[in-house]
């Protein structure tokens, strides 16, 4: 499981001109699922997202988590995180899990953030063509993988 996490001032996802998810200050998470991912990876990545200290404290140090600031998280499924462009110019997505495997795990990450970590979570639409807009704060972008 792979996530690109961006600290944002605001972010939203639109599908067919309809907003499917929108947040204020918080984290924009692009989430990719690969073969062999299980609930172990779901729990680990949700815990990491919830506790990653990338927000500034009163002294300007990145010392606070999304939970500490009461922020929100927007999670967008993104199979292209497992694109491999080592050979040629057209990436291979063979390492991305099939939708029937990836979608339940994507939903489980969102639910884990909501239920176990008490974070407000918005989402894109799994498998849809989405327009993603965000105002990056910093910019601060972190990549994590389990």
CATH code, domain carrying 119: 3.50.80.10
pLDDT band for position 93 (cuts 50, 70, 90): very high
In a domain, 75, yes or no: yes
pLDDT of residue 12: 98
Number of domains in the chain: 1
At 29-82, the pLDDT tens digits run 999 999 999 999 999 999 999 999 999 999 999 999 999 999 999 999 999 999
CA-to-CA separations, 97 to 4, 34, 103, 130, in angstroms, rounded = 17, 4, 9, 19
Per cent of the chain over pLDDT 70 is 100
Strand partners, 27: 7, 73
Predicted TM-score of the model (pTM) = 0.95
Is residue 80 annotated as part of the catalytic site, yes or no? yes
Average pLDDT, the chain: 97
In a domain, 145, yes or no: no
In the set 14, 34, 38, 80, the catalytic residue is 80
In a domain, 143, yes or no: no
């Amino acid at each position: 499981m792979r996530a690109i996490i961006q600290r944002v001032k605001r972010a939203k996802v639109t599908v067919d001109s309809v907003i499917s998810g929108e947040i204020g200050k918080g984290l924009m998470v692009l989430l990719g699922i690969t073969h062999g991912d299980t609930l172990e990876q779901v729990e680990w990545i949700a815990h990491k997202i919830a506790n990653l200290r990338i927000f500034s404290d009163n002294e300007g140090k990145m010392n606070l988590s999304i939970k500490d600031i009461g922020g929100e998280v927007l999670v967008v499924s993104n199979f292209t995180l497992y694109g491999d462009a080592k050979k040629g110019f057209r990436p291979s997505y063979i390492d991305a899990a099939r939708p029937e495997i990836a979608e339940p795990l994507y939903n489980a990450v969102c639910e884990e953030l909501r239920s176990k970590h008490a974070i407000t979570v918005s989402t894109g639409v799994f498998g849809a063509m989405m327009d993603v807009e965000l105002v990056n704060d910093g910019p601060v972008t972190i990549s994590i993988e389990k």
